[in-house]
Structure 1
Amino acid sequence: MDDGQGHERAGRPGDLSRFVVERLNAGDVDGLVALYEPDAVLALPNGLIATGSSEIRKAYEHLVADKPTFAPGQQLTTLRTGDLALTSTRLVDGGVTVE
């Protein structure tokens, strides 16, 4: 499924982590921002918060500027209730992401 801008849409919650890693490694800021709702909130590792598409875009532009390489982590069990899902991934460096 395409989001209308050439980016594959997540068909299930487990797709999200894969898309984030692929798009980070490609430096695809537009594709990363497309994963979020327009009024989403992104908690950044430095303790700052990015709210809305514009701030999330700036955060990802900064993150990919030096072209780092990101490795996929271990996807943990997805928690679901109704139409909401909570996904998490244990990163190679020991950190954890939660979406």
Structure 2
Amino acid sequence: MTTTRELAQTPEDLARLFVQRANARDAEGLAALYAPDAVMGFPPGAATVGREAIQAVLEQMLAHAPLPFPLEEPLPTLIHGDLALTATRPSDGSGGRAQVAQRQPDGSWLRILDRPEAGAS
């Protein structure tokens, strides 16, 4: 079954859509925010490559994560052409979160690199 979901029209939309879909426990919808060949630095110390593998990791995360996920404070986005560097300040003080997004041919944005937990130094 194909579900129509909102597309990220700006790089900043990705964080909002991530929180909405995580709170709905929609792992497939979360994975749809990533490019087919995206790389996620999660679980800590590992790299998960590809949308299908990312979805599997997100399914496990959602099975154990308390809800709701908060919408975190965004840091200024840096855009260069079709690439954007986004980051948020974690509400739990766990360091930082950073993502690289890429504008798609239809104008929407997808994550291509995601480091969701960068740990505090």
TM-score with structure 1 setting the length: 0.89
The Cα shift of 1:67 comes to: 4.7
Higher relative contact order (CA 8 A, sep 6+): 2
Partner AA of 1:54 in structure 2: E
5+ residue gaps, structure 2: 100-121
Aligned counterparts, 1:1-99, within 5 A: 5-69=3-67, 70-94=69-93, 95-99=95-99
Query: Identity rate of aligned residues, in percent?
Result: 44
5+ residue gaps, structure 1: none
Q: Which runs of 4+ in 1 moved over 6 A?
A: none
Native 8 Å contact 1:25 1:68 kept in 2: no
What count of residue pairs does the alignment treat as equivalent? 96
CA RMSD of aligned residues (A): 1.4
In structure 2, what is the Cα distance between the partners aligned to 1:20 and 1:97?
13
Q: Larger helix proportion, structure 1 or 2? A: 1
